[in-house]
Amino acid sequence: MNNLSAPTVPTHYPWRLQLPIYASGFFNGNVYFLTGILMPLWAAIIVKEPFLIGVVVASRQILPVLLSIPGGALMDRFGARRIMLLAGAIGVISMSAFPFFPFLTMIIDLQMLNGLSESLGWVGSQTLVGQTLKGHATYAGRLSFSLRLGGFFGPWFSGIAWHSYGPDFGFYFMTLWIASGWLAGWLVPVMETKNSDERKEKIRLRAIIPKFSDYVSTFRLLGIGSVMLVTVVTLARQTGSGIQLSFYPIWLNQLGITASDIGFMIGCSHILSASSSLSVGWVTRRIKAHWLLILTVGFSVAVMAGTPLFGSAYINVPGVGKVYFILLGVICLRGLTQGWNMPLMMSIGMQAVSANDQGKVVALRITTNRLASAIIPLLMGAIAQWVGLEASFYVIGGLGLGGLLLTARWMVNSSAVSKE
């Protein structure tokens, strides 16, 4: 498949099918961002050492790294909707338990369980775009729009709940958020497809045990140039996101910025992401998708890595105090480019494979994403403890930008992508 040429006009699907899928993305895709604000703050209360904070944040990614690929294979077999509903139920139970177990070991256990639930929920929302909407950039852009719209309200409201009523209410708000994602998944119409007999099969315990063959068939997809491109770029992209979802909220909090204001800042970046994501179909008809992906990811990583350079830039507003307008502008610029590169990664990957491999290709990207999300907080915590927090921003960002430069060189010298 040549997903890098100008996309065709997408087939129209009824809104009763589209809207619940986008609603699921609104909620499921933002559990990652909500916990990326509140969990580092919660960890900083329970433990003090930067490395242990990194351990708490990173532990969320352990089960997603190990089990996202089997989860994607299950979605290809049983349908994304059914697996999403199961994962959502686990997410509601595990998130509601956090306030009752403020101990390091239990926090790590709940992080792992809730991380798996959140990962499968977001894999499911994306897989539905591939299975039912054929993965076209227009529909991927709409899913990204709903993700970013939720990314404005979710972090802001969860930050308000935390700041105004305490950490417990922050977790209760997130529990309600996950439950809303479960409801959106339940409202997705049951689609009759060529694989309907398979997808009506009962989900038995033996069927959900990870199979080695699922890993083999998924990793074979890396032989497709576009899938390899998306996977490698995901690693580089995650250096910026790994900073944002681990020590960025702590750094802002050290400046005196409250949890509600941090949520508002990140929420504003998602509004910019939402607006840019709607134009991705139009842009990819004028700029080759793979180069647009490289450029937008590079910019977003550079902006996040350079954030500490603007920590002393603020305005004293009478009656308000310090207002960090430049930091708000920086995170919003990052959001603008993130709104393009997220649907590009979805569309490039999904259009490169058949309908029967949609879950696998999404799970492969999510596995890569979560592997980086597990490593980066640990590495960043160690660097911060050794040479300081701000230096860790520069080191992690430099690794991501170096990886992108190598990827761009590979694309120039290789025809593996352009010939698909």
Its domain, for residue 340, covers 16-188+213-413
Whether residue 349 is contained in a domain is answered as: yes
Name the packing angle between helices 259-277 and 137-165 (round to 10°): 170
What pLDDT score does 308 carry? 93
Alpha carbons 161 and 168: distance in angstroms, whole number: 9
Q: What is the count of structural domains for the chain?
A: 1
- Domain assignment present for residue 200? The answer is no
Residues with Cβ within 8 Å of residue 17, at least 6 apart in sequence: 132, 133, 188, 189, 191
Contacts of 341 (CB under 8 A, 6+ apart): 233, 237, 292, 293, 296, 297, 300
pLDDT value at residue 202: 60
Token digits of residue 406: 């190598």
Residue 29 CA neighbour count, 13 Å, CB half: 25
Q: Which residues of the chain have pLDDT under 70?
A: 1-11, 135, 191-208, 313-323, 414-420
- Domain assignment of residue 290, yes or no: yes
In a domain, residue 195? The reply is no
The answer to whether residue 11 sits within a structural domain is no
Q: What's the pLDDT score for residue 86?
A: 92
Q: How far lies 379's CA from each of 7, 303, 371, 396, in Å?
A: 40, 20, 12, 8
Q: CATH number of the domain at 137, please.
A: 1.20.1250.20
Instruction: State both tokens at 377.
Output: 């907080």
The closest of 160, 383, 384 to 251, measured between CA atoms, is 384
Output the pLDDT for position 353: 84
Q: What is the pLDDT of residue 330?
A: 92
Q: Let me know if residue 70 belongs to a domain.
A: yes
Give Cα separations from 120 to 26, 176, 187, 275 (angstroms): 14, 18, 17, 26
Distance CA 264, CA 195 (A): 43
Is residue 205 in a domain? no
Tell me the two tokens of residue 83. 């697996």
- Whole-Å CA distances, 40 to 113, 136, 171, 417: 17, 36, 13, 38
pLDDT at residue 326, rounded to an integer: 86
Q: Is the pTM of this model over 0.75?
A: no
Reading the block at residue 359, the tokens are 């879950």
Cβ contact 161:170 at 8 Å: yes
Q: Give domain status of residue 267, yes or no.
A: yes
